[in-house]
Structure 1
């Protein structure tokens, strides 16, 4: 939910670009789904029938469709990158501007190291997720739904295999996501700790050398680094099991299609070209699920980063300054905030003169 709230704040200025991107990706996906049908037609109407002109004519059409799909893909990636990078720049600017208005209490609440991490690493996680989502997450559902429709059109009997393959992949994905989301939250906190230790060592290097505390600081850094490394390895081990498991499901599905489809071809129920097209559609459907998995891998870390960014943006900053000393008007105006000036009442104080000097103050406090 935090990721969606953050994206709703970032994406409205780029609505037109996103609309163009979606149109390009839809056209690209339609072209990709059309190619297996052309390939099946070449086999059924060209190779089997020995019709060379049909093969050449349909082959030229396939080359044209492939070229258009390639151009659309390049344009889509370019627009997705532009939206993601621009949104990241806007988010960094918003964080920086908001933090500039923090009081010392707010800065101490988060810590300097944590604020640096949130404005760099956390924003980068949102950028990466956004770029992947704008490409793969748009293509994946269209490819999956279109692939199912085209697969049923080529062979309704074999389509029942999808009722087994897709739920199995969904169960694997859900099990992995439930385990890694807490680990990603912990990882971002440990990056904060690593930045804090490194920053303290750099800023206090003279004191560390003066008191001969080098070995102690080395141990502090090693502890923070080892903690981050162990968490990262734990997450990567989980993901290392996910992709091979998905590939097992994908390959077993292909074997099942060839096994049962071969029997249908031998019985004369299904043309060989339709089987070839069906096998391609099955691969496209399961690959679309794999694309969704690749984006889903980024969701936990992006969600953790979005929570941390929203925590900063939701913190109330200073919107009014109050000066109690002998600050000059120029000193009061140095800060880009409205201010109230305290005037200490004593002999010789001219309130009219004070009002003239601090004419841009919201009020004079006596």
Structure 2
């Protein structure tokens, strides 16, 4: 069953309201009689006007007349689109009618009016109102259905992403396990060989013992680096200047560069102090510096720069190597991924982990003339 449509009738004469009720009486309408412009405005402010199809408004009323009432109704957001029909017996001049249309009416009727004409006009506005209501409800239904589809699709996407993340973690665990096994097995194999040889010869020379100790230290170093990857590793942050940490390391990196016939350039910019773990930042810079120096041929230059960009402090590390292949870029920072014959694939992974613990971002640009890393604090 359809909801009754509201018709507002505004007239200061009760007999006129009774006449309108008699003409428009219908089981489909709810006729609302109001005795003044002020009453009409109070009603529009107090009630929900979404079910009002048309307002029948007398022009000549004491206090606020019909034109003034219409203008105020049309100025309100929730009533501006409700059609208004003026009904008057006072003035039929063209200027008066024009004033009514300027006030916001959609039609103008003179008393005495033909009952059937008024009824047909009101019926037409009711039909338009029902049509717009149905359109609105139809659009609402479409929105609800589409929203439901999007919610389901989003839930499926989230579930799929979680499953993919789980598979990616399992795959990474597998790769890391294989990497650990490979890296630890090499020194263990060396030690095992010397011990078996010692068992036969009943003696171990100092040279063999030194080699075994070196291999054990190598294995221990791999384990230490691996543990450095932990994101929940405790960091000891204190406010200090990045330039001072770089300056303390410059002689060491300079010596590494000179040993391989390369050059080091350092540019210290004006930067704010940061919350840093001194040891971890030293490790990050040294790892990246060694990677950069190893990527270059003799004569190449490795450059370290610091500067401010907006609210961020930037550490820039630039080499003049042959660049990183595009297919390798996404794998950078993955534990045990390396392009070096003797590398463990942990150095850069440790750098990414240190950056994460310092809430810093690592970005890079690479081409055939070299690679630039930007660590943004």
Task: Name the TM-score class by shorter chain.
Answer: under 0.3
Normalising by structure 1, we get a TM-score of 0.19
Whichever structure has more strand as a proportion of its residues is 2
Task: Name the structure, 1 or 2, with higher relative contact order (CA <8 Å, separation 6+).
Answer: 1
Q: Bigger radius of gyration, 1 or 2?
A: 2
Whichever structure has more helix as a proportion of its residues is 1
